[in-house]
Chains A and B, each alone.
Chain A
Amino acid sequence: MSVTAQDMDLRTMLSNPSEKEKGFRLLMQRYGKALYWHIRRIVVDHDDAEDALQETSIKIFRSIDSFRGEGKLSSWIYRIATNEAIEILRKKKGFFQSLDSLGPKLENTLQQQAHLQPDQMELLFQKALLKLPTQQRIVFNMRYYDDLSYEEIAEATGKNVGALKANYHYAYEKVKNYLKENI
């Protein structure tokens, strides 16, 4: 995968010990909000999203030296963020439960933390997403909201492109059907 010019300037700074902090601040300015929303869409709860974002940024700062420059920097940081968000979900589920069983709990959190008078379509759309299996939901979010290519999602999730396309397709159909049934 090609390295963008944006990534290049960051990499140059981050690889230089005297400019590492400056480079990291620039990286967070560039990707911080996108990371927050990526995490928030997975964990739903705002406090959990803050915690996961904090852990993600600490891990990025500590391990940026070990980033070997294969692939895009953004895919690498998305990977760390995704793992941290999933870790939060793991802590929330019971020992014998799967991540997918958290749907109703996350839906409840969504309801509590939405606008006071939320747009009903936006809310319904989010509820439809929370009905998806976690893996499909993450792939759908990265494609739909973050406009990541399948190759970038593959780098970030460690899955192959074919499986991701299938995941997105199934997710899309399920969301469409849910909306049709509930509007």
Chain B
Amino acid sequence: MMEKFENIGKKMPYAESQEYLDNLIANVTETAIEKGNSGRMQRILWPAVSIAAAAAVLLFVFIGRNTEKPEPSIQIAQNTESPMDDFLASISDEDLMQLTGYEMEEISASDFE
């Protein structure tokens, strides 16, 4: 058995009552459960939120890259669908009206003879 200092024992020179300590322990316990659980939710949610944010950034970058405006030269080439379109675009409205006014039968092989 461990040697004890005579007349002292295990008494402490403080004034905290048993009732006070009971309340303290109860409060500390409930706070620990509350903070412990909220901390757990954070630990669960944090990776999910991080992954979602990273996915959103990647998606944004991917979409942004695909919708970039092309170089002007490429844009002209893309808008030019065929030589006929080029031709129609180059003529005036009056000429275009005249062209559309022709009857199909008027254009026959004999006209070119």
State the A residues within 8 Å of B (CB): 21, 24-25, 28-29, 32-33, 36-37, 40-41, 46, 50, 53-54, 57-58, 60-62, 110, 113-116, 118-119, 121-123, 125-126, 143-145, 147, 172, 175-176, 179
By a CB distance below 8 angstroms, the chain A residues around B28 are 28, 32, 50, 53-54, 57
For B2, give its contact among A21, A50, A144 (CB under 8 Å). A144
Interface check B65, CB cutoff 8 A: no
Asked if B13 and A118 make an inter-chain contact with CB atoms under 8 angstroms apart, the answer reads: yes
B-to-A contact residues, CB < 8 Å: 2-5, 7-8, 10-16, 21, 24-25, 28-29, 31-33, 35-36, 39-40
For B35, what are the chain A residues with a Cβ–Cβ distance below 8 Å?
58, 61
Closest CB in chain A relative to B3 CB, distance in Å: 7
- Chain A residues contacting B14 (CB-CB under 8 Å) are 40, 46, 113-115
Contact A175 B5, beta carbon cutoff 8 Å: yes
In the complex, the answer to whether A62 meets B39 with C-beta atoms within 8 Å is: yes
Q: Which of B7, B13, B36 contacts A58 (CB 8 A)?
A: B36
Are B13's CB and A61's CB within 8 A? no
Question: Are B24 and A121 interface neighbours, CB within 8 A?
Answer: no
The answer to whether A122 and B21 have CB atoms under 8 Å apart is no
**Min distance, Cβ B7 to any Cβ of chain A, angstroms:** 6
Task: Please give, as numbers and ranges, the residues of chain B lying within 8 Å of A122 by CB-CB distance.
Answer: 8, 11-13
Q: Please measure, in the bound complex, the distance between the C-alpha atom of A41 and the C-alpha atom of B12, giving whole angstroms.
A: 9
Inter-subunit contact B5/A37 (CB<8 Å): no
Partner of A29, one of B2, B8, B16, B25: B25
Cβ of A143 to closest chain B Cβ, rounded Å: 7
Min CB gap B17→A, angstroms = 12
User: Is A36 a contact of B13 with CB atoms below 8 Å?
Assistant: no
A157 to B77, CA, bound (A): 78
Among A32, A50, A113: residue with most chain B CB under 10 A: A32
CA distance A139 to B44 in the complex (A): 39
Q: How far is the CA of A118 from the CA of B40 in the complex (A)?
A: 45
Q: Is the CB of A143 within 8 A of B2?
A: yes
Task: Determine the distance from Cα of A25 to Cα of B25 in the docked complex, in whole angstroms.
Answer: 9
Chain A residues positioned under 8 Å from B24 (CB to CB): 36, 50, 53
State how many angstroms separate the Cβ of A63 from the closest Cβ of chain B: 9
Does the CB pair B13–A119 fall under 8 Å?
yes
B32 touches A110 (CB 8 A): no
A25–B13 contact, CB under 8 A? no
CB<8 Å pairs between A and B, sample of 13: A28-B28, A33-B21, A36-B21, A36-B24, A53-B24, A53-B28, A58-B31, A58-B35, A61-B33, A110-B13, A114-B15, A121-B8, A145-B10
Are A123 and B16 in contact (CB-based, < 8 A)?
no
* Cβ contacts under 8 Å, B29 to chain A: 24-25, 28, 32, 57
A126 contacts B12, CB within 8 Å?
A: yes
